Structure formats: C-alpha cells, structure tokens
Amino acid sequence: MERDDLIVNDGYAMAAHHSEEAGVAIRKKIWFVTVLLTLITAVEVAMGVYFKRSEAFTWTAIKWTFIVLTLVKAAYIVLVFMHLGDERSNMKKAIMAPYILFIGYLIFIAITEGFGHLESFTTFH
C-alpha cells in the first residue's frame, strides 16, 4: 500500500524537498518574524511596567500606543502565518478592508461611550 503523505499530486507533496537556498530563506524569515514580534511584545511589556499614570507621558498616548502596537502585531501575524502576504494586492485589500473598518468602528464606539460615561459623572447633581 502506498503512503498518502508521499503521493505527489500536481507537484506538491508532504515530503517535498527544497534547495538549501530556499531553506536558508525560510529560516531567515522565521527568525525575522520571531524577533520582530518579540521586540514589539517587549516594548509593550516595558511600557506597562515603566510608565505610570502620573508620568510625563499622557495616559491617553500610552493607551493609543498599546492599541497601535497590538494592531501591528495582529496584522503581521495575519500577513505571515495566515499567508495573506503571499496573495495579490486586491485580495489583501478585500480581506483587510472589513477588518480595518471593524477595528475602527470598535475604537469609535469605545471612545464615544467613554466620553458619554465621563460626561454622566461630571454632570451629576
């Protein structure tokens, strides 16, 4: 009986072999992704440990920095690990546009409700 994982179907197989140059490029990309995501996470953790609400930076700027760094990590994970970066430009836009609109909507709702909540406390009789 022939093993399913060794059957070559349209040029692809589970046991496909790559050249050494292709292997080096793949390992280089894996290390780059690992280092980039680790650095972004380290910056987020360092900001959480170092900055307090009474520091020179405004708390709003710190929160927005967290939001932006988290979105950068999420987008990079989608582009690399879900292979969206290998797709054509129109496909990327078609997939990322609803995501970006949804995240923008969530941020809008959070800001709007936050100001409404703040206003209800400041106008208390």
Instruction: Note the pLDDT tens digit of each residue in 59-116.
Output: 778 888 888 898 889 888 888 888 888 888 898 888 889 988 998 899 899 888 877 7
Q: Note the pLDDT of residue 12.
A: 53
Predicted confidence (pLDDT) per residue in 7-58, tens digit: 555 555 555 667 888 888 888 988 999 999 999 999 999 888 888 766 666 7
Residue 102 has a pLDDT of: 92
Report pLDDT for 19: 80
Sign of CA dihedral 12, 13, 18, 22: positive
| Predicted pLDDT at 6 | 55
Q: How far is the C-alpha of 63 from the C-alpha of 44, rounded, in Å? A: 10
Return the number of other C-beta atoms located less than 10 Å from residue 42's C-beta.
Answer: 10
